[in-house]
Structure 1
């Protein structure tokens, strides 16, 4: 009885949709005027309604292509209405990208596929941005709760400094390096500017903080005699 009622409701809506919608062209894929995840497959001037998978919306940029995508990639304009959501654990809707349900896990998010949540990490230093449905630098994103994420600290106390580090050509380095305070051969790498790692030059060379590379000891002030007396 319940299933029959649902079928009846669907048939009623189907009839309303098909009666109200007029195909702009005889053949193609065209958006509903009010609902962003509803579109029509037109053939010989007759439009058959079809819904995008829950969480996706219709891309109306090309009437010759049938395509649904995440809302961040589609401008719905005045088509604000959406189908009723089908939520599940971690997924406000069955498909799409969503922030992690742990409010402190700013660097993680869920990729929901058919109602199943797949946890994914952002690259080091980035946080998940709800508006853009992608990972972004904290200062560039839209999440006010993730402006100051906790920094990683190495066992010797090194922390990546704040702000961009310009390279020899004046452009910011994506993975800047820094000299070790006590050892000419060693240095630090800041992956994406925020994740610290230890580095070491090959035997016979030392770190040159002016060029951000390993170099001959004679070219680095204070490290000229670093290898004198050291066993090979």
Structure 2
């Protein structure tokens, strides 16, 4: 009797497996469809999330991670900045900082929060929020710079020096 039950059970399992194999061969495969880019406003800048990661509009120490609901601001570890070509944070002395890659909804170029206006045609000027960074002005046009090798920008000499010798009045929450 037990042998008959075992044979019946094996037959039922065999039929179920055969039916499942038959059903799976009739499944239709669909080609993936790319979703349209999600646009998000970050610091007033229009950011199109058409890639997994994007540079932050005004802070090289952050990046944007794109999700189905838009861009999320993500921080890099201390002493690192976002490298879009490698899609990771790298040591800040090895990567130039690039901001202002986006546009306002009006279509004008978006500078991000820290747009610096040169007080003179030429010179080096401290960044208001970060002692390791400064602005270099040439012909009245500012470019965002970072001191190399872990040095700090000294407001007195307008050069990059060891942290112990730097005079700096930057504040994390300062206006730009």
Q: Same fold (TM over 0.5)?
A: no
Q: Larger strand proportion, structure 1 or 2? A: 2
Q: Which has the higher contact order (CA 8 A, sep 6+)?
A: 2
TM-score using structure 2 length: 0.35
TM-score using structure 1 length: 0.27
